[in-house]
Amino acid sequence: MIHQASDLPIRLKNGYLAKKPMIVVAHSKGTVSILELLKENRYISEFEIVEENNKKAITVTLLYTDKKPAITNVKIISKPGRRIYNPVKKLQPVLGGMGMALISTPQGIVTDTKAREVGIGGEVLFYIW
């Protein structure tokens, strides 16, 4: 069983390191939510849900600016064997605001900035910068 929240950022990082124009990831509602936030914050160019042989997948187009990747690094925080939950008071900006954390909350998956604005905590999925 693959932990989708850990698999997606690692696939993105590896795609950027290999200088690929696009990658394919497994489809899930959580993956779509994460990709929408990454697109909104300019970490990916776009994504499209495709279906082959009755199986859904997502094609993600990676974003490069002057041949430099939009993502420098990712750090997985919550893992299947060790979930990390933080209240809103413990949510700090990633790299002084240069990066972003994705938080799974009762209202869905949100960025650390949005979680602080709304005043909710949750499971810290990963950091990206």
CATH classification at residue 120: 3.30.1490.10
Give the predicted TM-score (pTM) of the model. Answer: 0.91
pLDDT for position 96: 86
Containing structural domain, residue 61: 4-128
Q: What is the pLDDT along the chain (129 residues), one digit of tens a residue?
A: 457 778 999 999 999 999 999 999 999 999 999 999 999 999 999 999 999 889 999 999 999 999 999 999 999 999 988 999 999 999 999 998 899 999 999 999 999 999 999 999 999 999 999
Under a CB-based contact definition with an 8 Å cutoff, are residues 104 and 28 in contact?
Answer: no
pLDDT for position 1: 44
**Tokens 């790299």, residue?**
95
Q: Which residues contact 96 (CB under 8 A, 6 or more apart)?
A: none
pLDDT for position 2: 59
To the nearest 10°, report the CA torsion of 18, 37, 85, 128. 30
Based on its alpha-carbon atoms, the radius of gyration of the chain, rounded to whole angstroms, reads 15
Our count of domains for the chain comes to 1
